[in-house]
Amino acid sequence: MTLTPAPEPVVPRPGAGIRPTAIGHRAPESAYGPDADADARPGPDARPGPDTGLGRDPDLGPDAGPAPLLPRAVCEAALTALLLFLIVTAVRWLVGPDPGAAAARPAVLGAVVGTLLALFMVSPPGRCSGGHLNPAVTLALWRLGVFPGREVVPYAVAQLAGSVFGVWCAGLVWGPVTGRPPVRHASVRADPAWGDAAVLAAEAGVLAGSTLMLAVLLASPGGRRVLPYAVGLTTALVIGVLGPLSGGSANPARQFGPALLAGDTGRLWVYVLGPALGAVLGAWLAGRTGLRQPPR
């Protein structure tokens, strides 16, 4: 605790636990304890503590702690629901009314989803929650050391619940056509030539590469500023290239709601497990290659 000189007696100033922040709430108490001396705190070269993740404003200083968990989880659920609603809407209009131009659909859908992700991440709700919208991304950020582990499960539950709700709302708006082939609630399907192992490897590989990209971009303020657009571009490429092959989900929440409502759960475990494994693998590779420092 920092002491302010006074004639007599010496009166302590308020500690970090009651410091106001730039986003309108109190910062969490210092990891070094409320009575930690200022000289004992880490210097500018020390490894940063947990962050709110992807969409956090890089201009906020280290004293601007994350908002309470509940509103951030609600933002994750709402953004994921809106994302899935718009994905089902896009698929409904891409494949529902006109069976032609099938070769262009993955590229168009990829451009739509990538743009939506970038916009959601820079939106106010995205800045509040971090704009993960993907349980595998939340897992990757935890393993990279920039997201608290105790919040991984609440975020994942919020994202999966938002997925189901968004697909359900799309069915209410667009009617039975969303549940019938070829729309099927926008549930992704791999090419018949791709077995479970191939799809699992593709999903894991995409998330491993994405996690390495996150590690690089999160290492600098400049990288954080372009991160939403890098994520959007990467997502567009994954859907455009892998969509006709493995399905190109790379997001358990992307497939969870559509598969449940379409009754297409046979390979759901692949689309959940693959990205999770890739996130862990990518974070491990980032540590081995020096892209992130090991936990202290």
E strands, the chain, are: 3-4, 11-12
Share of the chain above pLDDT 90, in %: 66
More confident residue, 2 or 262: 262
pLDDT at 103: 54
B/e letters for 251-260, b = 16+ CB within 10 Å, e = fewer, are bbbbbbbbbb
pLDDT band at 200 (very low <50, low <70, confident <90, very high): very high
Q: What is the pTM of this model?
A: 0.79
In 10 A of CB 180, how many CB atoms?
A: 12
Nearest to 136 by CA among 271, 243, 229: 271
